[in-house]
Structure 1
Amino acid sequence: MDETLRDIAEYIASERSDAIVDWHIAYGELTLSIVPGEILPLVKFLYDDPRLGFVNLIDICGVDWPAREKRFDIVYHLMSPRQNARIRLKLATDEATPVASIASVYPGADWFEREAYDFYGVLFAGHPDLRRILTDYGFEGYPLRKDFPLTGFVEVRYDDEQKRVVYEPVRLAQQFRDFDFESPWEGTDYVLPGDEKAH
């Protein structure tokens, strides 16, 4: 399989050298690092070329690297039934630079790109309907960024008095927790048998 992937990588690099920054094969998988501005022409080539035939889009996802200048990786997974092979395309972008939408080539990219926008804030230029898909309409922030607080910013609950859903700042209420002070997992005020030597 590595030989097939090597042939595919060399063919793509020779035909579209302007789009490929680097490629490598690891663990039986081909990864192509690409120039961000070339994603749309490259996927058109991968889709249309009769030798390749990468006609199936499997996934688009994001990765956050907050210490980098271009903090996001956008990762595309494609499959070619003709080659019986999968490849991964990877590009780097920042918060302000949009990435070209590939929904015109792979209509299924629509929801994947919306999800990347919803969770990371990555913009996709030319997307037919770029809006949140999994978080609530008024949600603020991007929950899969590594600088997003683990508790979020607001909590949602149904208020029985107002008879509607309300949004409030997060409160970490402790009075509802059930502490068992007799449990050795919570800690005790007395010495358990066998722990006399610990002090």
Structure 2
Amino acid sequence: MATLHSAPRFSAIEGLKDTLATALSAHLVEAGEEHGELSFTVERDSIEDVLRTLRDDFDYQQLMEIAGVDYPARAERFEVVYMLLSLTKNNRIMVKLAASEDTPVPTVTTLWPNANWLEREVFDMYGVLFAGHPDLRRILTDYGFEGHPFRKDFPLTGYTELRYSEDLKRVVYEPVELAQDLRQFDFMSPWEGANYVLPGDEKAATPPVDEPKTTESPKQTGAGKKTDAKAAEKVSKGAPAEDDSGKADAPPPEPTEDRPSRKPRKGKTTDTKAATQPKAKKAPTKKKPAAKKPAAKRATPKKKDADE
């Protein structure tokens, strides 16, 4: 029995490149396959017609991403990449085009509304212009930002920095001032040591290791007969503790307290819970209120006879 899955099957790439290349031949510059995915480079001014054909005729329904790439050495330094997804075929393709700072790319917001933010991001990060875009302005950087951060020639520190000024009570934009210069690192082995003098090393006066210090005579060390005789003298000579009175040491004094001895404990007193822990006090139990006795019935006087 065949098992049916809800997920669509992967469409075979074999033959798909030729099919799409034939359909896009009027606008195609180059077709290739990399990492199991098809990529097509097309003319810049034909991008809207190309994507409409792929959407309507080949079921690439979704525009997943628009990315930018910077190649500063090229005449047209930027490359705009459109990534399409076919839900029915479970297949992805990439469509590329080349652009420069002065050559705008036709917008594809007429085909997919989500291209609005995607094109704004490429404009913000790379500076690529999109002709016909309804609201082409920055989307990630701050107001008044200079330059485009994803360009290869954009400095790592940027051009301006902002801080809050206590005097002006607002955010201030200023040119970038580095707090310290970029350090120069060397990759020498720490066991070999650096080939330059580190700050502070010039103050350390190290004695020559090859000339060990020796003592030629006892005078240099302070030793000798006179020193030995002086060291043999007792420092505590003449102290009261040194005088011997000839009497025996006095016995220790008798205890002054008269305390009755404790009664021995019953049972073992080592490693027992009763010997090491006090007895827990029982919580006082509440007395139940006494049940009320039923009230005695009062005796009702008998009615007098009618004769009385």
TM-score of the superposed pair, with normalisation by structure 1: 0.84
Aligned residue number for residue 299 of structure 2: none
Runs ≥4 in structure 1, deviation > 3 angstroms? 187-191
Aligned residue number for residue 13 of structure 2: 5
SS in structure 2 opposite 1:142?
coil
Q: 2:46 aligns with which of 33, 38, 46?
A: 38
Q: Which string of whole-angstrom CA distances, capped at 9 and with x for unpartnered residues, describes residues 100-136 of structure 1?
A: 1111101111111001111111000111110111111
Q: 2:122 aligns with which of 116, 120, 140?
A: 116
Aligned residue number for residue 97 of structure 2: 91
- Residue 149 of structure 1: how far off its partner (Å): 1.2
Aligned residue number for residue 132 of structure 1: 138
Q: Which string of whole-angstrom CA distances, capped at 9 and with x for unpartnered residues, describes residues 164-183 of structure 1?
A: 000000010139xxxxxxxx
**Which has the larger strand fraction?**
1
In 1, the alpha carbon distance for the partners of 2:134 and 2:15 equals 35
In 2, the alpha carbon distance for the partners of 1:189 and 1:85 equals 65
In 2, the alpha carbon distance for the partners of 1:79 and 1:48 equals 13
TM-score of the superposed pair, with normalisation by structure 2: 0.55
Aligned residue number for residue 25 of structure 2: 17
Correspondence 1:30-179 to 2 at 5 A: 30-49=38-57, 52-174=58-180
Q: Label 1:129 to 1:108 Cα distance change in 2 as closer, same or farther (>3 A).
A: same
> In the alignment, is the contact (CA less than 8 A) between 1:6 and 1:25 conserved in 2?
no
Percent of residue pairs bearing the same amino acid type: 49
In 2, the alpha carbon distance for the partners of 1:115 and 1:105 equals 18
Aligned residue number for residue 194 of structure 1: none
In 1, the alpha carbon distance for the partners of 2:93 and 2:99 equals 20
In 1, the alpha carbon distance for the partners of 2:47 and 2:32 equals 18
User: Over alpha carbons, which structure has the higher Rg?
Assistant: 2
> In the alignment, is the contact (CA less than 8 A) between 2:11 and 2:91 conserved in 1?
no
Q: Which string of whole-angstrom CA distances, capped at 9 and with x for unpartnered residues, describes residues 20-63 of structure 1?
A: 111111211111111111100000111111xx211111110111
In 2, the alpha carbon distance for the partners of 1:161 and 1:126 equals 44
> In the alignment, is the contact (CA less than 8 A) between 1:19 and 1:38 conserved in 2?
yes
Gaps of 5+ in 1: 176-183, 192-199
In 2, the alpha carbon distance for the partners of 1:105 and 1:2 equals 25
In 1, the alpha carbon distance for the partners of 2:164 and 2:82 equals 39
Gaps of 5+ in 2: 1-8, 182-189, 191-197, 205-308
In 1, the alpha carbon distance for the partners of 2:134 and 2:84 equals 21
Q: Label 1:132 to 1:8 Cα distance change in 2 as closer, same or farther (>3 A).
A: same
Alignment RMSD (CA, Å) = 2.1
In 2, the alpha carbon distance for the partners of 1:154 and 1:55 equals 42
Amino acid at match of 1:119: M
In 1, the alpha carbon distance for the partners of 2:26 and 2:45 equals 10
- Residue 73 of structure 1: how far off its partner (Å): 0.4
> In the alignment, is the contact (CA less than 8 A) between 2:10 and 2:91 conserved in 1?
no
- What is the number of equivalent residue pairs in this alignment? 179
SS in structure 2 opposite 1:48?
helix
Amino acid at match of 2:83: H
SS in structure 2 opposite 1:4?
coil
In 2, the alpha carbon distance for the partners of 1:55 and 1:104 equals 14
- Residue 2 of structure 1: how far off its partner (Å): 9.8
Aligned residue number for residue 196 of structure 1: none
